[in-house]
């Protein structure tokens, strides 16, 4: 069965299937039951599964995560929604000091299958604390899986794979793509959710990104193709662990790499990829690995987000610099 769905609806249906398949799965978050979430990703689920499994919580992210940890210890598989990216920091201590370390602390004898859904990123014209990209904090933290779907197909399947995982999973949803439509095959499961994927083949430059940035990279590749430049695009999908095999293979072919992200560039996922590729594919590189990112400032007022966030022009400028070497 193939449907054309928005990313938000695809995640909704993925959550619906996970709830139906396993009675131990439950959803927790602010306004996710009655309202269906700010972005309506959980809309309709409370009427189907009831308030004991789709739970409106207090406005307390630390309590949401802490309660989920307790539930996981009793055999449940909680899925927590953090309403906006910038709201995650009140729960940061519970996630990084407790959740990420508990399985290791128990020498593997205890599992904590908790998914934390985080709508993240810009392009929605919102105010401070509503358009941030904090994924590097969690990718830096051992004990957490960090993933980000870029398409409705991945949204549908990756949320189910995250829920089925026995490890804690940070599930970063690019909220600017919630309304982007794409085909979803609900019968054929994809491969592992930590695998990177080549989404466009090319021969001259490799572009790598995740989440909302993948669409921007594909736009840049289309413009470059019209100008005679062949670009390969890779969707990371997983930020921790990172599947480097497709990236290294691509760089060995193209000799050039540009990494793009909405988050600030300093000490970021893009920094890690640039460093690792320089270590593993140094003799294949024809130019330095280049990074395109948000600026190293707090996220600006909404009217300035178009300057702050990388667009196709900034990516193509980096492509031109890479080709000039």
Catalytic residues: 130
| Helix pair angle (213-226, 312-324), 10° resolution | 60
Phi–psi pair at 99, nearest 5 degrees: -55, -45
* Cβ proximity of 53 and 16 under 8 Å: no
Give the C-alpha separation, 2 to 187, whole Å.
8
User: At 25, phi and psi to the nearest 5?
Assistant: -80, 135
Q: List all residues 6 or more positions away from 55 whose beta carbon is below 8 Å from its beta carbon.
A: 26, 27, 28, 29, 32, 33
> 3-state DSSP call for residue 52?
coil
Strand partners, 240: 146
Six-digit token pair at 127? Answer: 């105010």
Residue 142: how many other CB atoms lie within 10 Å: 9
CA nearest 13: which of 160, 145, 182?
A: 160
**Helix H segments across 87-200?**
92-93, 100-105, 135-139, 152-164
């Amino acid at each position: 069965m193939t449907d054309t769905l928005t990313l938000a609806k695809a995640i909704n249906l993925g959550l619906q299937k996970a709830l139906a398949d396993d009675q131990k799965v439950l959803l927790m978050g602010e306004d996710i039951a009655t309202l269906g979430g700010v972005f309506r990703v959980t809309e309709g689920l409370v009427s189907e599964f009831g308030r004991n499994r789709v739970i409106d919580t207090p406005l307390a992210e630390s309590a949401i995560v802490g309660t989920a940890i307790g539930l996981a210890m009793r055999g449940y598989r909680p899925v927590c929604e953090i309403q906006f990216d910038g709201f995650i920091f009140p729960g940061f201590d519970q996630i990084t000091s407790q959740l990420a370390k508990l399985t290791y602390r128990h020498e593997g004898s205890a599992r904590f299958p908790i998914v934390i859904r985080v709508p993240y990123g810009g392009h929605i014209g919102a105010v401070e604390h509503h358009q941030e990209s904090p994924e590097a904090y969690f990718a830096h933290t051992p004990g957490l899986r960090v993933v980000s779907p870029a398409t409705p197909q991945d949204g549908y399947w990756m949320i189910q794979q995250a829920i089925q995982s026995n490890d804690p999973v940070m599930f970063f949803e690019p909220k600017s793509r919630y309304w982007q439509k794409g085909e979803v095959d609900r019968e054929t499961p994809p491969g592992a959710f930590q695998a990177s994927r080549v989404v466009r083949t090319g021969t001259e430059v490799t572009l790598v990104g995740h989440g909302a940035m993948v669409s921007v990279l594909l736009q840049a590749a289309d413009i470059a193709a019209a100008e005679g430049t062949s670009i390969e695009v890779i969707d990371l999908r997983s930020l921790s662990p990172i599947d480097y095999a497709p990236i290294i293979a691509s760089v060995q072919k193209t000799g050039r790499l540009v990494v793009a992200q909405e988050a600030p560039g300093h000490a970021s996922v893009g920094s890690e990829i640039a460093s690792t590729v320089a270590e593993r594919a140094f003799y294949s590189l024809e130019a330095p690995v280049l990074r395109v990112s948000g600026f190293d400032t707090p996220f600006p007022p909404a009217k300035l987000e178009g300057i702050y966030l990388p667009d196709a022009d900034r990516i193509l400028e980096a492509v031109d610099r890479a080709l000039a070497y």
